[in-house]
Structure formats: structure tokens, C-alpha cells
Structure 1
Amino acid sequence: MTIYPAIDIKGGRCVRLTQGRADQQTIYSENPAEIAAQFKAAGSGWVHVVDLDGAFSGESQNLAVVREIVAAGMRVQLGGGMRSRGAVERALALGVSRVVVGTRAAESEEFVRELVGAFGPKVAVGIDAKDGMVAVKGWVSTTGTSALALAQRMDALGVSTLIYTDIGTDGMLTGPNLAAQEAMLKTVKCGVIASGGVSQQGDVGALGALAKRHANLDGVIIGKAIYEKRVDLAQAIADARA
């Protein structure tokens, strides 16, 4: 199981939002690339980056910062504003290892089919759920589509990785929604990266136990718990490898 420490970028700064709300913002650093370097020093090979400005506006806004993070020597998984093939191509051209498509995936299966055909495993689909229903456009809107139904369709299209975020737990430091994550793992054959709610070292162990039951749990994204020093990244990486 891979640990993906998270960097959310808004206005060029490293921030965290509570349940995706722009009015519930905490600034952690003016230099996201410096944070990425700290993650690398702790032993992380990957970093999960979200361009929040891109998620809200629909167009990537922080690619210069993403370029700096790539230059720090991390494998970058980037989401936020990936709503056109051009946006995906620009991100990959920067050296991003994997792009995450969210809103457009919920709107257009043909778009996902095209990207998977062109870029294969470099494309992941992010499914963000509120009460089991898909949320889009930076979590501002909730659709009438269930997360599990969308996941099944993405799996059938050949998507190799899904990132499943439970909005209700994201940024709340209340622990992951293990039942929701397990339901997703049972629904699809492709890899799943769990996101939302990790609040302590024990949560990493609980997800590790889930990974032993479901081989398609590829990893977990951890954000606020690292910044609030509730989770030690180096220890989490060691626990995930155990």
C-alpha cells in the first residue's frame, strides 16, 4: 500500500480545506515545493497534488508551482481542472506521473475512454462522494449518480486507478469511512486509492488491514493529519509496507 501525502494548492500556497469548503481554509506553507521536499526526505516517492483553483474554475491555475514540485524529485499525481485533453497533456508535459480526472469523468464516458486510450495508466479517475453520491466542480455540486455506479462504469472503460474520497470525513480528522472504502473495493477490479479522514497512525493500520483483504487497495492519501502532526509520514510509510 502506497502512502500519498497531499498538497492542496490555492493561490500558489499550500492549504487545506475542511470538507472542500473554500471558506474553511488553513494555510500551511507559502512554498508547496518545500513541503514536497520534506515529504521526499521522509521517504515518500509520491505526492498527491490538487490544484484547488483549477477544481473551482475548471482550468489549471498553478502549473508553475506543480513544475517546482516535479523538480523536487517527486512522482506527482495531479488533480484539479483536468477537464480537457489539452489540460491533461500540459500536465503530463511538465513531468506529472498521473493526472486525476474528476468532474469530466462524471459527465462524459467518451472523454475518459479517449484519455485511457491515449495515456493508459497515467490517467486516474477521482470519485468524490457525499452520502454515497458523486460530487463535482470542487465538491460544489452533487450529482444524482451513485459513486459505486460511476466506479463500475470507469472500471469497464479500462481505468487502472480510482481515487475514492469520502467528503464527509475529508479534513475532519475523524477516521476514514472504512465501510464505504470496502464497498468500493468490492465493486471494482481496478486499483483504488482511499482518501479522506485519516487522523492518526492507527488509521493507517486499519487501511493496511483492509488492503490485506482486498488486493486492489493500492494506497491512501493523507493530508491534514500530516500537517497537524497527528501522523508521522515516515512511520506511516513503514507501516504501509509492513
Structure 2
Amino acid sequence: MLLLPAIDLKDGQCVRLKQGRMEDTTVFSDSPVDTATRWVEAGAKRLHLVDLNGAFDGVPVNNSAVEAIAKKFPDLPIQIGGGIRDAKTVQAYLDAGVTYCIIGTKAVEDPEFVKDLCKQFPGHIIVGIDAKNGMVATDGWDKVSTVSAIDLAKQFEEAGVVAIVYTDISRDGMMTGVNVEATKELAESINIPVIASGGVTNMDDIIALCNVEASGITGTILGRSIYEGTIDLAKAHEFVDTFAERMA
């Protein structure tokens, strides 16, 4: 189970939102690089970055912060989402040292775009599916579509997508526990690895996800829990490593 610390970027700061609401923001740090360093020192093997301004504006806004983190940790895999709507943006992020680009809104609006990106940038494209009550949300979670998360994910099974980041937006930032059932249902419905997101609160959530890892859930994103200290990232890494050894 891969543990991915989230660094959500808004106006150059590291923040956390509740249910994706830009007006409900908690600022945790003015230095994205310092925040990244904190999680790397706690054992992070990959970072999950989100350009929140970009998600709403449709174009990268905090790319300078992303580039600074990539430059600081050139050997660390980084995935970035938020405002990636064209191949030029993907190329720019890869050139800056980012490993994976997450396509969200554009994946709903134009699935063929994702398939084309997978051909152009093989091994570098992740699809982000944000859902409320099983239905896909777009535009920074501002709109809920009529497309189900499972139906959308199935469209990318043969495209070469590296993973699906699945977020239950009703739980994101709320510290109410991860939606294990919905995440497991998605993972069992497709042949693409799934990364769980939204609501991870304490070690019970990580244990629950580890117990269903065989369904195809390969990682989880940790946000408010590690910033507020309900999960100690270093200890969480020790647990998942021990769990993996026990299951091997």
C-alpha cells in the first residue's frame, strides 16, 4: 500500500479544503518545498500535488511551486493534478521533473483526450475520478455529472492509464473515514490500479484499505490527517511495510 502525502496548492500556499470548497480553506504552510521535505523525511515514496487554483481556472496556476518541489527532489516520483487540459501542459510538467499527470475534468468531458495522452506520454497519465454518491464531479467539484465513476473508469481500461485516483468528495477533508466500500467496488470493477482518496482519518482507515488491497487498491492519499496529526506518516509507513511482509 503506497501512502501518498497530499500537498494542495492555493495561491502558493499549502492548504486543505473541506469537500473541495475554496472558501473553506485551512492554510498549513507558506512553503510548499518545506512541506514536501517534511513528508519525504517521514518516508514518502511519492507525493500527490494538486493545483487547486488550476482546478477551478482550467490552467496551471501554482506550477512554480510544483517545479520547485520537483527540483528539490529529482529522484522522487511526483503526481500532479488540477487544470491539466492539454498535452502542452503535460509536457511542461514532465519536463519540470513531474512523473505523473492526473487528468480529471477533461477525462469526463473528452475520454478520447486521455487515450491520446496515454499514447503520447506512455506510463505518465493518471485519471482522477471525483465522485459524490457514485456520480462523477467536475470543475473543481463544482458540478456533478450524470456519469457514474465505474462507467467512466471502464472507458480507460485499455488506454494505458497508470492508475485511477478515486475521491469521495463528500468525505474529503471531513475526517469522517475513507469510503472503503465504494473504493473497493470500483477497484473490483476495472483492471486499473486504484488509489483511494478522501476522508482518510486514522490508522483504522489505512488498516481497512490494506485488508482489501487484493481488490486492486494500491495506494491512498493522506491529507488533513497527516497535517493535523491523527496519522503519523512515519509510523504509518512502518505499518504498511510490516503488513506487506506478513502478507508476502
TM value normalised by structure 1: 0.97
Q: Please tell me whether residue 91 in structure 1 is matched to residue 93 in structure 2.
A: yes
Match of 1:175 in 2: 177
Q: Please tell me whether residue 129 in structure 1 is matched to residue 131 in structure 2.
A: yes
Q: Please tell me whether residue 6 in structure 1 is matched to residue 15 in structure 2.
A: no
Gaps of 5+ in 2: 244-248
Offset of residue 118 of structure 1: 1.1
Distance 1:109 1:90 in 2: 21
Offset of residue 58 of structure 1: 0.1
Match of 1:228 in 2: 228
Structure 1 letter corresponding to 2:48: H
Residue pair 1:9, 1:15 contacting (<8 A) in 2 also: yes
Match of 2:151 in 1: 149
Q: Please tell me whether residue 28 in structure 1 is matched to residue 12 in structure 2.
A: no
Offset of residue 158 of structure 1: 2.8
Match of 1:48 in 2: 48
Q: Which residue, out of 190, 193, 208, partners 1:191?
A: 193
Structure 2 letter corresponding to 1:101: I
Distance 2:212 2:9 in 1: 30
Structure 2 letter corresponding to 1:197: G
Say which SS state the counterpart of residue 154 (structure 1) adopts: coil
Offset of residue 102 of structure 1: 0.4
Distance 1:160 1:43 in 2: 22
Gaps of 5+ in 1: none
Residue pair 1:121, 1:161 contacting (<8 A) in 2 also: no
Offset of residue 146 of structure 1: 0.5
Distance 2:109 2:239 in 1: 37
Distance 1:207 1:170 in 2: 16
Residue pair 2:71, 2:96 contacting (<8 A) in 1 also: no
Match of 1:100 in 2: 102
Say which SS state the counterpart of residue 26 (structure 1) adopts: strand
Offset of residue 156 of structure 1: 3.2
Residue pair 1:199, 1:230 contacting (<8 A) in 2 also: yes
Offset of residue 220 of structure 1: 0.3
Offset of residue 164 of structure 1: 0.4
Residue pair 2:104, 2:129 contacting (<8 A) in 1 also: yes
- RMSD, aligned CA: 0.9
Offset of residue 69 of structure 1: 0.9
Offset of residue 160 of structure 1: 2.5
Offset of residue 157 of structure 1: 2.5
Offset of residue 155 of structure 1: 1.6
Q: Please tell me whether residue 70 in structure 1 is matched to residue 66 in structure 2.
A: no
Structure 1 letter corresponding to 2:156: M
Query: Identity of aligned pairs, percent?
Result: 41
Match of 1:16 in 2: 16
How many pairs are equivalent? 240
Distance 2:185 2:65 in 1: 35
Residue pair 2:127, 2:165 contacting (<8 A) in 1 also: yes
Distance 2:228 2:72 in 1: 23
Distance 1:159 1:112 in 2: 8
Distance 1:240 1:176 in 2: 17
Residue pair 1:3, 1:237 contacting (<8 A) in 2 also: yes
Offset of residue 231 of structure 1: 0.3
Match of 1:39 in 2: 39
Match of 2:246 in 1: none
Distance 2:157 2:136 in 1: 16
